Amino acid sequence: MSSSRYLRGDLLEAIARNALKKYDPHLVIGMGVQRVPIEEIIESMGLTIEYQYIRRDGRILGETVFDDGYIPLYDMKKRKYGLFFMSRGTIIIDASLLGDKTDSRLRFTCAHELAHWLIHQELYRGSGEAAAMANNISKSSDTDRCIERQADILAGALLMPIGKVKQAFYRISGENGIEVLAKEFGVSKESMKIRLREHGLI
């Protein structure tokens, strides 16, 4: 199949591994776990992160700009929407995520948008549309859901390099194991559970 819509799980793992290795091999190789510095990695690729209010109701958490153009954003001061020029390679993160107690949602949104940039360019480039991470995608089409799921899987692989997860998983046991793991990697408990399940660890 030629479309990136059908990228297989092991291919997504390889894409994540390569991206991390390029930034810092220690993120995937050797002993010891360090939080993946996702914002720094994004910037090292020449992308720009912008914190803006995307929608008034916080419905959209992130948006990746594939073509230079005007993007509607909510202007908190003026209390209305405006069009803002954004260049290709801008990742817009909803400013509401900055106020979060834990930064796991912010980190996951960054990773999700980076995933779109890495694997969905051909789908969006020239379409005049931006890939967006919505809070609730239940109303989207099957194709959209598939693309979003793929970005989520790659985001998980980026934030939780599987070799390191396995290392930590066997080191940390006990009742709060998943919580401790989640904290160590800077992700939510739910994301960590999904990652462990993907690899048959739980």
Residue 115 beta carbon to Zn ion: minimum distance, rounded to whole angstroms: 8
Angle among Cα 185, 191, 197 to the nearest 5 degrees reads: 105
Tell me how many residues contact Zn ion (CB under 5 A): 3
Residue 131 beta carbon to Zn ion: minimum distance, rounded to whole angstroms: 5
E-assigned strand segments in 31-109: 48-52, 60-65, 69-75, 80-86, 90-94
- Check binding of 151 to Zn ion (CB under 5 A): yes
d(Cα 21, Cα 187) in Å, to the nearest integer?
20
Of residues 28 and 60, the one with the C-beta less far from Zn ion: 60
DSSP string, 94-161: EGGGGG-SSSHHHHHHHHHHHHHHHH-HHHHTTTT--EEEES--TTS-HHHHHHHHHHHHHHHHHHS-
CA dihedral 149, 153, 158, 164 (to 10 degrees): 160
x/- binding map, residues 158-197, to Zn ion, per CB under 5 A?
----------------------------------------
Of residues 131 and 182, the one with the C-beta less far from Zn ion: 131
x/- binding map, residues 130-149, to Zn ion, per CB under 5 A?
---x--------------x-
- Check binding of 119 to Zn ion (CB under 5 A): no
Residue 173 beta carbon to Zn ion: minimum distance, rounded to whole angstroms: 34
Residue 23 beta carbon to Zn ion: minimum distance, rounded to whole angstroms: 22
If one counts every other C-beta atom within 10 angstroms of the C-beta of residue 69, the result is 15
- Check binding of 91 to Zn ion (CB under 5 A): no
Of residues 13 and 148, the one with the C-beta less far from Zn ion: 148
Residue 27 beta carbon to Zn ion: minimum distance, rounded to whole angstroms: 23
Structure tokens at 68: 């230079």
- Which residue of this chain has its Cβ atom nearest to Zn ion in the complex? 133
Residues 6+ apart with CB under 8 A from 77: none
Query: Rule CB under 5 A: which residues touch Zn ion?
Result: 133, 148, 151
